[in-house]
Amino acid sequence: MKIVEARVIVTCPGRNFVTLKIVTDDGVTGVGDATLNGRELAVASYLRDHVVPALIGRDPARISDTWEYLYRGAYWRRGPVTMTAIAAVDTALWDIKGKVAGLPVYQLLGGRARDGVTVYGHANAPTVDEVLTEVARYVELGYRAVRVQTGIPGLETTYGVGKDRMFYEPADSAVPSEAVWSTERYLAHVPTVFARIRQEFGPDLKLLHDVHHRLTPIEAARLGKSLEPYALTWMEDPVPAELQEGFRLIRQHTTTPIAVGEVFNSIWDCQTLITEQLIDYIRTTVVHAGGITHLRRIFDLAALHHVRSGSHGATDLSPVCMAAALHLDISIPNFGLQEYMRHTPETDAVFPHGYTFADGYLLPPEEPGLGVDIDEELAAQYPYRPASLPVNRLEDGSMHNW
Ligand code: CS2
Ligand code: MG
């Protein structure tokens, strides 16, 4: 079998997505997500201009070898653009392998290690009163875990809290919009939110909170400590994670579990965090961390160090990534939680998929391969629209306090 074509499809059914579709001489096709929020066209070019020509004629069965060829062969290793492009190829090749074998991908990864994939939804609203309604909505839908974000009194906007409730999208304008941030106001407010939520919903519901890298280690330690009475499942991205050793400081002060890694793209980004047991959940994903092949390597390292998976699953990760994530989630021993931010009906129509939600769990599709595709005709009706993630500044106008 040989690869005869690979198409890079850019579409915007409400938000931008980049998808790679690999075609073999037998007519079997495979899809991979290649979306990098706000930097979509960089990955599209990396694939079209540099990767696709080298794929033509290759044996699609050689997944590991192709991964090494693209990673080592390029000389320039790692980085979000490179690793997203490699992920797309890797994911598409797993899809093809599953179709050729006549098995869903999770069967090729060892079969089910659990009955369903526990997912968490996003409850976000400007005020605490409003967010209670949002949490109740997720509980009503059957969710067992909810991430909670609210506006901060005195701040005009807060990242993670959008205009829409169910379909929140942070990339909002062609040139980044700017928002003002106050650590003092934030640290004072968040514990009051979780006190209310625990009071209303009791001890069973799993609660999560995303700090979006806004604090220093000692500030994060204080936040973690002040949230201990409310027993969060995790505090996410408390600080920027370039300095992995920085997490030692947070760890010395708080028992609030820590989840990190949605912006990581390789095992080297989380090696210290995992091997020193500085975190509890690793949030790397299929699309941004080199595909199923590399992500499984990260999760295996994590398993040795009591770290569980908690993959990123925001709306900028397409249904192709979600399907791939679910095959991995259901098959690994150290799965923790999967983020599940629902896509809009327009996006769901462009990416027909067979995963299902019931009772707080997602189940991967049962058909051979990943069980997801792209409707290219429909995709063509939604041309690319530039959109960037917002920028944050402190009240004095500076950007370098976190
Ligand atoms: C967030 C995302 O889902 C999350 O945990 O951090 O909203 C993230 O900011 C976006 O996916 C960025 O593309
Ligand atoms: Mg996050």
3-state secondary structure 135-157: HHHHHHHCCCEEEEEECCCCCCC
pLDDT of 247 over the 80 cut:
yes
Q: Is 338 in the pocket of ligand 1 (CB under 6 A)?
A: no
Q: Is 19 in the pocket of ligand 1 (CB under 6 A)?
A: no
Residues with Cβ within 8 Å of 57's Cβ and at least 6 positions away in sequence, in order, are: 2, 3
212 part of the active site: yes
Alpha-carbon dihedral 33, 37, 40, 43, rounded to 10 degrees? -60
Tell me which of 159, 340, 355, 361 is the catalytic residue: 159
Please give the radius of gyration of the chain, using alpha carbons only, rounded to the nearest integer: 20
- Report residue 9's pLDDT band, with 50, 70 and 90 as the boundaries: very high
Residue nearest atom 10 in ligand 1 by C-alpha distance = 314
- Cβ atoms of 222 and 256 within 8 Å: the answer is no
Across all residues in the chain, what is the average pLDDT?
96
| Over residues 286-314, mean pLDDT | 98
Residue type, 267: I
Q: What is the pLDDT at residue 160? A: 79
Q: Which helix (H) or strand (E) segment is 99 a member of?
A: helix 80-101
pLDDT > 70: percent of the chain: 99
Q: What is the pLDDT at residue 402? A: 59
Q: What is the pLDDT at residue 133? A: 97
- Cβ atoms of 25 and 2 within 8 Å: the answer is yes
Closest-CA residue to 279 (of 237, 319, 325): 237
Q: What is the pLDDT at residue 170? A: 85
**Ligand (nearest to CA of 237):** 2
Q: Which helix (H) or strand (E) segment is 325 a member of?
A: helix 319-331
Residues with Cβ within 8 Å of 87's Cβ and at least 6 positions away in sequence, in order, are: 32, 33, 34, 286, 287, 288, 289, 290, 291, 294
213 part of the active site: no
Distance from the CA of 229 to the center of ligand 1, in angstroms? 26
Q: Which helix (H) or strand (E) segment is 324 a member of?
A: helix 319-331
pLDDT of 320 over the 90 cut:
yes
Q: What is the pLDDT at residue 11? A: 98
Distance from the CA of 4 to the center of ligand 1, in angstroms? 35
Helix (H, G, I), strand (E, B) or coil at 271: helix
Q: What is the pLDDT at residue 169? A: 79
Residue 319 to residue 325: CA distance in whole angstroms: 10
Residue 13 to residue 381: CA distance in whole angstroms: 8
Residue 220 to residue 222: CA distance in whole angstroms: 5
Residue nearest atom 8 in ligand 1 by C-alpha distance = 314
pLDDT tens column, 58-104: 999 999 999 999 999 999 999 999 999 999 999 999 999 999 999 99
| Over residues 299-316, mean pLDDT | 98
Residues with Cβ within 8 Å of 303's Cβ and at least 6 positions away in sequence, in order, are: 332, 333, 334
Tokens encoding 126: 């400007």
pLDDT tens column, 334-369: 999 999 999 999 999 999 999 999 999 999 999 999
Residue 6 to residue 185: CA distance in whole angstroms: 50
pLDDT tens column, 147-191: 999 999 988 888 878 767 677 778 888 999 998 999 999 999 999
